[in-house]
Amino acid sequence: MRPDRAVPPAFALLALLALLALLSGCASFEALRAPPPVQHNDNIPEDRDTVAAVFMAGTFQSMQHLSQAAPAEQAEIFASAREAYDRAPQGSAKLRYALMLATPGHPARDPTLARKLLRELAAQPESLQPLERAVTLVELSQLNTELEAKAENERLSQNGEARTERERSTATQRRLQAEMDENARLRKQLEDAQAKLDAIANIERNLSMRNSANEGGQP
């Protein structure tokens, strides 16, 4: 499985959210790229939903730019999200930063950290609007699938490497055993040859001694 997804899953909601943003009359191109912190008014639920839609539309727009832009613009977009998160590490700013971390196609991508932040947000649903909570859960599910598949691939790779190492070790042991067996066979042949040479030498020595004795006994 390829670790980086070609398009973040949350982009599926972009068209609808962008339409809501345009209808609200609150979105401009620059606002979509770097939307201001969301201000929630507990007394006007409809406004909260509209503001959240505008914010998410801008976030998705930034994610799209982040995955496709030149390196300098990528660094600028990511730095903007990181600075907003550093100023207020919670709620919408935290979600925006997590989504930037999860976006494929840029060098600062960190799906592990993104999943950690999204898990924290999922554990504090009161810090987000309903739309933001939905995006959090969708992206968290996608990251869980991606990282679990990556972990499984690494485990299989490690098992494969271990199996290869065992096979290599077994082959080495077999080769060493074959060499030892061959050395033992050659040593046995050498010992047999040496025994034959000793026997021949003994025969020649006995013959020489017998000839000498016969020559000494003649008148």
pLDDT per residue over 88-120, tens digit each? Answer: 999 999 999 999 999 998 999 999 999 999 999
Helix and strand totals (H; E) in the chain: 7, 0
- Our CA dihedral for 208, 213, 216, 219, rounded to 10 degrees, sits at -120
* Six-digit token string for 41: 């008014």
Whole-angstrom Cα distance, residue 91 to residue 51?
14
Residue 27 neighbours by CB distance under 10 Å: 21
Check residue 213 and give its pLDDT.
Answer: 66
Which structure tokens are listed for 176? 């060493």
SS3 133: helix
DSSP summary character for residue 36: P
The predicted model scores a pTM of 0.55
**pLDDT for position 217:** 56
Q: What integer pLDDT is reported at residue 26 of this predicted model?
A: 41
Q: What does pLDDT average to in each consecutive run of 10 residues of the chain (219 residues)?
A: 43 47 42 47 62 87 90 93 93 94 92 95 91 91 91 80 75 79 77 77 76 63
